[in-house]
Amino acid sequence: EQSGLRVQWQDYSALPAEARQQRIQALADSEAHQPFDLETGPLLRACLVRSSDLEHYFV
Q: Where are the domains of the chain?
A: 7-58
**Per-residue pLDDT averaged across 11-21, rounded?**
97
Confidence at residue 1, expressed as pLDDT on a 0 to 100 scale:
67
Percent of residues, the chain, with pLDDT higher than 90: 78
Contacts 24+ apart (CB under 8 A), 41-45: 41/4, 42/3, 42/4, 42/5, 44/5, 45/5, 45/8
pTM (two decimals):
0.81
